[in-house]
Amino acid sequence: MPRSSTRLTFAVLATGAGVFSMLQSLIAPALPTVQHALHTSQSTATWVMTAYLLSASVFTPILGRVGDLAGKKRTLVGVLLAVLAGCLLAALAPNIGVLILARVVQGVGGALFPLSFGIIRDEFAPSRVPGSISNLSAVIAAGGGVGMVAAGPIVSALDYRWLFWIPVGIVAAATLIAVRYVPESPDRAEGRVSWLGAVLLSGWLVALLLPLSQAGGWGWGSARVIGLFALAVALFALWLRTEARSRTPLIDLRIMRLPAVWTTNLAALLFGAGMYAIWSFLPGFVQTPSTAGYGFGASVTTSGLLMLPMLLAMFVSGVLSGRLEPRVGAKALLTAGAALGAVALGFLALWHDEQWQVALVAGVFGLGIGLAFASMANLIVGSVPAGQTGAATGMNANIRTIGGSIGAAVTGVLVTGRLQPSGLPYGSGYTHGFTLLAVLCLAAALAALLVPVRRAAAPLPDPAAPQVPTAAPTPVR
């Protein structure tokens, strides 16, 4: 039953999820600074991003399921404490090894997404659930944009360690408020955590994502990459068999086979490939010196400002989607969001000679991200039982991350496959990469068309509203 103080509850959820999303992109522009400050190599410094990706992928669905079983508030507070500890450890890290460990701890915060969606479903009035999920999705999407925009000014004015000191204060305040004011959800799933399923899920996710993120350095034909891909296939098959036979599976495969779930997840995979890849490569493109025949030689701060239209558009479209969803449906919003991404990337592949063109593309793509994020979450939450909300939304977030890793890996091959004598990529590599990402977003829009239309349920009567007596039927003579 919905309870009071939902505004405060939403503020806590939005703060936690927004900070985690910000941490995902905040450190990327500062990696060269981190590498220099901690006296390490570029290949080692990239593990600051890889460790976070792998940790979040493992913990997101597992702790989402733990929240369904053990209580969402209890799990939420534990996850916030883990993020707080990870940020504190990162701010104090004396060497790159400790910083990588801190990023692993921060990755536990990936579970904030499914836990937040589950708490909204349990605690908010049914009429407010779609809009609240859309607003939270807007904050999550915008958090990644804030990270890209804010990293440069923070590092320039203070130090890269303040990229973690600032979240320490924010997460600490959110944790205290959550302990005091967020109610424990009464709806809990029955059963227990399938730890064998959790181990197998963790195994195939790591075996898949690790070579995707490191293949550029290891080589796509290396024994490590091929061996890990083979291990990922074997562990995935074993995980499917284990989950199908388990009485209390970690991820109920019957839920994953629901038409609204698997089609939404397919769209998430394809759209995630385009979204995360553009986040990774567009800043590098604008920072490339113009002597390469493209790029603007922009600083980290300037490249962040060029991404500012994306940040603003993501937030605005995410909030608006909550008002549009009851009228046009989440399916239409997901289709429109993916189509906007395809249009933006197609434009970028053809026209990228002026900074205003990049800013325009960033804004249009941001509109698509806001619509897609909100509609995916609403489609999943509205299609699964309450006891499966955490696991199902966690897997949707994971599938989006897997798509992002695939998109970034393939784009990296296209961009860095041929290098100029100066060591910089050719402009054609970026053009081919942007074209591929446009095709992936278009495929996501086509996948969204497969999502079945869900009929809106008749609104429940408001017990506080005055009851108007109905007239007795006229007898038929």
Residue 464 scores a pLDDT above 50: no
CB-based burial label for 41 (10 Å; 0-12, 13-18, 19+): exposed
Across the chain, what does the average pLDDT equal? Answer: 84
pLDDT at 1: 38
Q: Look at residue 462 and tell me whether its pLDDT is greater than 70.
A: no
What is the pLDDT confidence band of residue 198, given thresholds at 50, 70 and 90? confident
Query: 239-253: per-residue pLDDT in tens?
Result: 999 988 888 787 888
pLDDT tier, 268 (very low <50, low <70, confident <90, very high otherwise): very high
Looking at residue 90, its pLDDT comes to 93
Q: What is the pLDDT of residue 360?
A: 93
Mean pLDDT to the nearest integer, 362-384: 89
Residue 468 confidence (pLDDT) above 50? no
pLDDT at 189 over 70: no
What would the pLDDT profile of 291-320 be if each residue is shown by its tens digit?
Answer: 888 889 888 778 778 888 988 888 888 888
Fill in the amino acid letter for 192.
R
Pick the more confident residue, 139 or 347: 347
**Quick check: 343 pLDDT over 90?**
yes
Q: Which range among 91-100, 190-199, 393-402, 431-440 shows the weakest confidence by mean pLDDT?
A: 190-199
Q: Residue 469 — very low, low, confident or very high, per pLDDT cuts 50/70/90?
A: very low
Give the model's pLDDT for residue 193.
Answer: 73
Cα separation of 393 and 219, whole Å? 33
Query: Cβ neighbours of residue 164 under 8 Å, at least 6 residues apart?
Result: 87, 88, 90, 91, 102
Whether the pLDDT of residue 3 is over 70: the answer is: no
Determine contact, residues 321/331, Cβ cutoff 8 Å: no
Average of per-residue pLDDT across 386-395: 80
Q: What is the pLDDT of residue 158?
A: 85
Three-class SS of the chain: CCCCCHHHHHHHHHHHHHHHHHHHHHCHHHHHHHHHHCCCCHHHHCHHHHHHHHHHHHHHHHHHHHHHHHCHHHHHHHHHHHHHHHHHHHHHCCCHHHHHHHHHHHHHHHHHHHHHHHHHHHHCCHHHHHHHHHHHHHHHHHHHHHHHHHHHHHHHHCCCCHHHHHHHHHHHHHHHHHHHHCCCCCCCCCCCCCHHHHHHHHHHHHHHHHHHHHHHHHCCCCHHHHHHHHHHHHHHHHHHHHHHHCCCCCCCHHHHCCHHHHHHHHHHHHHHHHHHHHHHHHHHHHHCCHHHCCCCCCCHHHHHHHCHHHHHHHHHHHHHHHHHHHHHCHHHHHHHHHHHHHHHHHHHHHCCCCHHHHHHHHHHHHHHHHHHHHHHHHHHHCCCCHHHHHHHHHHHHHHHHHHHHHHHHHHHHHHHCCECCCCCECHHHHHHHHHHHHHHHHHHHHHHCCCCCCCCCCCCCCCCCCCCCCCCCCCCC
Highest mean pLDDT among 30-39, 91-100, 121-130: 91-100
Task: Give residue-wise pLDDT tens across range 58-90.
Answer: 888 888 888 888 888 889 999 999 999 999 999
Q: What is the distance between the alpha carbons of residues 446 and 27, in angstroms, rounded to a whole number?
A: 34
State residue 447's pLDDT score: 94
pLDDT band at 5 (very low <50, low <70, confident <90, very high): low
Considering 34-43, 46-55, 99-108, 453-462, the range whose residues carry the highest mean pLDDT is 99-108
Q: What percent of the chain has pLDDT over 90?
A: 28
Q: What's the pLDDT at 458? A: 37
d(CA 377, CA 372): 9
- List the Cα angle 183/187/192 in 5-degree steps: 115
The CATH architecture of the domain made up of 1-183 is: Up-down Bundle (1.20)
Q: Exposed/middle/buried for 199, CB within 10 Å: 0-12, 13-18, 19+?
A: middle
Tell me what pLDDT residue 191 has: 67
pLDDT at 301: 78
Let me know if the fold of 1-183 is the same as that of 254-454. Answer: yes
Check pLDDT > 90 for residue 264. yes
Residue 457 has pLDDT above 60, yes or no: no
- In this prediction, residue 411 carries a pLDDT of 84
**What is the model's pLDDT at position 448?**
94
Query: What pLDDT does residue 438 have?
Result: 94
Nearest to 427, CA basis, from 289, 300, 298: 289
| pLDDT for residue 122 | 85
Q: What percent of the chain has pLDDT over 70?
A: 93
Question: What does the pLDDT read at residue 279?
Answer: 76
Q: Among the CATH numbers 3.40.50.720, 2.40.30.20, 1.20.1250.20, 1.10.565.10, which is that of 254-454? A: 1.20.1250.20
Domain-wise residue ranges, the chain: 1-183, 194-249, 254-454
Which residues contact residue 303 at a Cβ distance below 8 angstroms, ignoring those fewer than 6 apart? Answer: 29, 152, 283, 286, 287
pTM assigned to the model: 0.80
Q: What pLDDT is stored for residue 465 in this prediction?
A: 41
Task: Check if the beta carbon of residue 42 is closer than 8 Å to that of residue 91.
Answer: no
**Which of 4-8, 149-153, 256-260, 263-267 has the lowest average pLDDT?**
4-8
